[in-house]
A and B are shown apart, each in its own frame.
Chain A
Amino acid sequence: MKIAKHTYDAVIVGAGGAGLRAALQLSESGLKTAVLTKVFPTRSHTVAAQGGVAASLGNSTEDNWHWHMYDTVKGSDWLGDQDAIEFMCRKANEVVVELEHYGMPFDRLDNGKIYQRPFGGHSQNYGQSPVSRSCAAADRTGHAMLHALYQRNVRAKTQFFVEWMALDLIRDADGDVVGVTAMEMETGEVSIFHAKAVIFATGGAGRIYYSSTNAFINTGDGVGMAARAGVPLEDMEFWQFHPTGVAGAGVLITEGVRGEGGILRNAAGERFMERYAPNLKDLASRDVVSRSMVTEINEGRGCGPDKDHVLLDITHLSPETIMKRLPGIREISIQFAGIDPIKAPIPVVPTCHYQMGGIPTNYKGQVVAPKGDNPNTPVTGFYAAGECACASVHGANRLGTNSLLDLLVFGKSAGETVVEDIQSGNLRLKPLPDDAADFSLARMARLENQKDGTNVHEVRLAMQRTMQKHAGVFRFSELLQQGVTAILEVAEQAKTTEIKDKSMVWNTARMEALELDNLIEVAKATMISAEARKESRGAHVRDDAPDTAEFPNGRRDDEWLKHTLWYSEGNRLDYKPVNLQPMSESVDPIALATRTY
Chain B
Amino acid sequence: MTLNKGRMRWHCRRALLELDLVFARFLENRFDQLSDAQLADLQDLLDIEDHDLWAMVNGSAPCPEDRWMPLLSMLRDSGTQDDSA
Contacts and interface: CB of A to CB of B under 8 A. Distances in A.
Contacts of A335: 18, 21-22, 58, 76, 79-80
Given A42-B49, A44-B15, A216-B13, A338 B81 contact: yes
Given A331-B59, A335-B76, A506-B6, A249 B51 contact: no
A204 B66 CA distance: 38
Contact of B79 (A212, A336, A340, A506): A336
Contact of A507 (B6, B13, B79, B81): B6
Contacts, number: 91
A339 B82 CA distance: 8
Given A47-B16, A215-B14, A215-B16, A328 B21 contact: no
Interface in B15-55: 15-18, 20-22, 24, 49-51
A47 B51 contact: yes
B67 interface: no
A537 interface: no
Nearest to B58: A331
A508 interface: yes
B80 to A, nearest CB: 6
A508 B16 contact: no
B71 to A, nearest CB: 16
A163 interface: yes
A506 B21 contact: no
B1 interface: no
B14 A186 contact: no
B21 A338 contact: no
Contacts of A503: 6
B15 A48 contact: yes
Contacts of B2: none
A332 B83 contact: no
B51 to A, nearest CB: 6
Contact of A213 (B17, B22, B49, B76): B17
Interface string A382-414: 000000000000000000000000000000000
Nearest to A212: B17
Interface string B51-85: 10000001110000000000000001001111101
Nearest to A506: B6
A453 B8 CA distance: 28
Q: Which of A43, A212, A339 has the most CB of B within 10 A?
A: A43
Contact of B80 (A44, A217, A338, A507): A338
Given A47-B51, A143-B51, 7 more contacts: A143-B49, A185-B10, A215-B13, A332-B18, A334-B83, A335-B21, A335-B80
5 tightest A-B contacts by CB? Answer: A506-B6, A338-B81, A47-B15, A216-B20, A331-B58
28 contacts: A43-B13, A43-B15, A47-B50, A47-B51, A48-B16, A140-B51, A143-B50, A214-B17, A215-B14, A215-B15, A215-B20, A216-B14, A216-B24, A249-B21, A327-B60, A332-B18, A334-B83, A335-B18, A336-B21, A336-B79, A339-B83, A344-B85, A505-B4, A505-B6, A506-B4, A507-B6, A508-B9, A508-B10
